[in-house]
Amino acid sequence: MASTVYDKRVIFTSRHFKKEVLVKLNTQNTPVWIPLQITEKSTRTLILYFFLDDGSKTSSSLILTVPLHFSLSANVNDYTCEALLQDDRDGKELAKELKQSSDVRSFSVDVTHTPPSTYTVTDLKNPNVEYGKPLYGPSQASSELDFSLRDIQEGLRKLSIISSSTARNCLVPSLPLCVISNGIGHRVDLPVTISPNNTRQNNVLPCQSLIFLKDVETRATHLYTTEASKFTFPFQLRPVSDYELMVFQGCQTQDNCFLIKAVAVCSFRSYMTAQEVILLYGKACSHMSSMGAEEFANFVPITHLYRSKPILHFLNIYNNTNGIMYKYIKNFGGDPSSTLNRKLHGLFFSANIDPLTGRPPDVSYYGDQRIHIPVMFMINSDINLYFADFYCHYVNHHVTLVVTLKGSEADLFCSKRLMPLDPNFNVFLFRRPHALHAMVNSKITVEVFYTESINIVQMINSRCAFLTSVTQKGNAALKTAVGLPKRRDCKICNLKTNS
């Protein structure tokens, strides 16, 4: 069986000397672009150099003439070279090694989500990195180093790449080229976009960001570049999937040669689409069926939904907010792939009661005071009801239902992303028209996310709502601010489980 790894000869050469370095690479079935990590030791400078590799063991050596930038050393022994992203190191480990071996700084980026499927990398402009050094040295004229990518672009127009399991981290530079690497063996055409090379004004190096996006499961890696402060990925990410993001900030000094100033790393899980919400609903229904939850047998009546908070929370409402309990943005509790996370505002209430006593639990993990709101205030003819989430932490499984006022912004948001339920009858929580109570399924913990603020003082004064004391356990503030994510290894409530 042929080896899947071979040594690539990289030769650093200067006027009188040369140095050979062997770089281990994955064997390719078709030409792909590989990023090399080059470190110049005397100035602790990091450079990423991209070369087109045909994967052949007999391919010609890569020859690099030093210095790679006028400010760098001309001594070939000052340079080291290795392939970037050719092993299973995660982004944080790789970034740590880069900062130890060079003067690369670190900065932070974030990934924002615009439902249902658009993802944008933000904060790409790092204020702690200085740019603007001249492109050419004192003895070099711009005419001598005129950069033209026309020949490269023309060749890449006809190129398509195939990434197999042995070539799972294939990359193509994207300035001005777009990059695609498909790690599941499908053939993909390489799109090429030609943009005028007009960014170098007064021979000043523009700040650029190299954005590596890796699908953890398929190992497919994509690379893009931008000079903007944010970048939106031009394709839909796979839902409920883990991604790693590594961003290098620097400037292009030669063709396909980038001098790196800073690096940022983050990881995230893509959100559920409406289709995944439907699949999660099916899992919730299957779970209740396996517990013997048949029709009305496990439904119990409930007259109030309740919400527990610390006493200081209620005192603040009485004294500072004119009696209004304001809705807040949903945290990361429940499924981390929920499309509601950090997108929808509301108030959580619980319908969980003891089927024997008809009363809520005697303890609370969210505060020592509990407000009880009539169920008909939230479940009535003016609302729409949606299934949003199914999750567990340790033993009990929970479902999250969202209540919106018909025609509201929240209702429009949920109608495109969640699964609608009939508030008059469904398998979780329903209320018949004109009934003073609702019916809740006792085989599962039902939570209600109400998307409007409530004047609780007015309701208490009119005796529609009331407060009770309850024993508190745990850190209520932490659970509210951050939220407790679901167990990722539960095969009952996860669309994907960790192996």
**Two tokens at 66?**
């030093």
CB 433 within 8 A of CB 381: yes
Whole-number Å distance between alpha carbons of 441 and 439: 7
Q: What is the pLDDT of residue 61?
A: 86
Give span(s): CATH 2.60.40.10, the chain.
Answer: 5-137+149-269
Q: Which among 260, 133, 249, 126 is positioned nearest to 200, based on CA atoms?
A: 133
Residue 185 binned pLDDT confidence (cut-offs 50, 70, 90): very low
Better-scored residue on pLDDT, 126 or 498: 126
Please write the tens of the pLDDT for every residue from 131-156: 545 433 332 332 232 333 443 333 33
> Residues 9-45: pLDDT tens digits?
999 999 889 999 998 888 777 777 789 999 999 999 9
Query: How many residues are given for the chain?
Result: 499
pLDDT computed for residue 142 by the predictor: 29
pLDDT over 60 (residue 203): no
Name residue 454's beta-bridge partners.
325
Q: Is the pLDDT of residue 498 over 70?
A: no
* Least confident piece of the model among 77-91, 176-190, 393-407: 176-190
Lowest-pLDDT range of 3-12, 172-181, 260-269, 455-464: 172-181
How many angstroms separate the CA atoms of 156 and 65, rounded?
Answer: 24
Q: pLDDT band for position 360 (50/70/90)?
A: very high
Q: Where would I find the beta strands (DSSP E) of 41-157?
A: 45-53, 62-65, 79-83, 105-106, 110-114, 118-122
C-alpha 493/C-alpha 358 separation (Å) is: 27
| Helix ranges (DSSP H) in 230-303 | 274-290
Q: What is the pLDDT of residue 293?
A: 52
Provide the pLDDT for residue 499. 43
pTM of the complete model beyond 0.85: no
- CATH superfamily, region 5-137+149-269: Immunoglobulins (2.60.40.10)
106-132 pLDDT tens trace = 999 989 888 777 899 999 987 666 654
**Which is higher by pLDDT, 3 or 380?**
380
Only one residue has tokens 């090399």, namely: 36
What is the pLDDT, as a whole number, of residue 252? 87
Choice between 177 and 8, residue whose per-residue pLDDT is larger: 8
Per-residue three-class SS string for 336-391: CCCCCCCCCEEEEEECCCCCCCCCCCCEECCCCEEEEEEHHHHCCCCEEEEEEEEE
pLDDT of 121 reads 94
Answer whether residue 373 shows pLDDT above 50.
Answer: yes
DSSP symbol at 334: B
